[in-house]
Structure 1
């Protein structure tokens, strides 16, 4: 099993907007869809998939367990509810959404429940999201080496997370980058604009190609069909070693998301 390198994110998309986005993406050739319990859109994602006509066997569906459902007696029942909304018997990847160190459920408890969900066939793979190095290490201790498929983290040219990424690479854990465009902030970057012009590409394509070239998976979202199509083209863009070095210089620890009570102590 592996993690697709390119998928569609659905964060902040709800109602008809997410239905249209998912259907357009599937028509364009996307096959990996990322959602979460807290996004409140699993039902719409499931509807869009059903209406698309794309066979389930061609899709890679990811969802994430919300912190309210981490307890051993809640995690699997909540996953079954998610599966019903998504109109599928299993997800391809199930993630713990945030470590939430102060919410009263020990990491060992929820990671054991995640492993059980996999054993039951409710998910093909398990992973984590927003975990630092130490918490990832603890998760590996609970479920075993090779069991954590990915750590999905905020990562962009402005927040390169190189220490965490290096650790995950050592452990054989795929890095999944979310907010690769830093809420659109990188789209105004003059250095990225210069690299994009050289390649006759968009700035978004350059940022996504940068992450892909580092071996990361990306899950950009868009409500515009033309942007969904344009983003896909990042897969064919090859940046030079000089381009990559210039983008590396943009690191500024520009974190966009770090909710109190949910986030760990970042590396």
Structure 2
């Protein structure tokens, strides 16, 4: 390397002392010293950190082996049969909820109460229908509609079947029967006093006069004569006791019973209606009372 001479060095110094100081240390010398130190430091750094900073050269033999294996056909992958999935463990039995016995008992109790309430409701409706039927039967008109209402909510019975026959026509009221009885009683008395074939003249005259003017005792008359029987029967009819009146009239002679046949048929119809409907109503009330009684079983 060629170093250009410093112009200061070419010119001789004027003073020998200044010449000696200039030769001991100039800027060029120090520059060279610094440059050398830097070179030394750079070489040491490269020696220390170079292998880790610079990439290593690839191994040519290893690269050749890798390329050779890459050209060979790949062995097909062996497909292993899928293993059967493990059997699912049996489901644990559902634990019976605590208190199931109490729940079942409560359900049975509720069902029993509902059934009892339904029976009570039906029995109350039957009792009301029976009362309506009795009220309708006291008139002289038919009462099929009221009977049908009771049959719809009550079990069939012989009483209901018998009343259906009577409900189609009805029967005269007790008041109407009591009002018409005196005329029929007079006819029965007159017929009962008809003289027989062997009667005398006076008997026949008395019978003829009795057909014009009838004299008959009334009230509670003792005895078994025709007038006494008719008097007791009339009193019973006025009291509304048709069953007793009909039994009393059985004591008349055949002619008297025949004269009362029409009235008797209507009275018997009225007595049967009242008797059967009274039994139906009593049964309906008994059923309702049995269900509402404390401790009653359904």
Rg larger in structure: 2
- The structure with the largest helix share of the pair is 2
Structure with the higher strand share, 1 or 2 = 1
If the length of structure 2 is used for normalisation, what is the TM-score?
Answer: 0.20
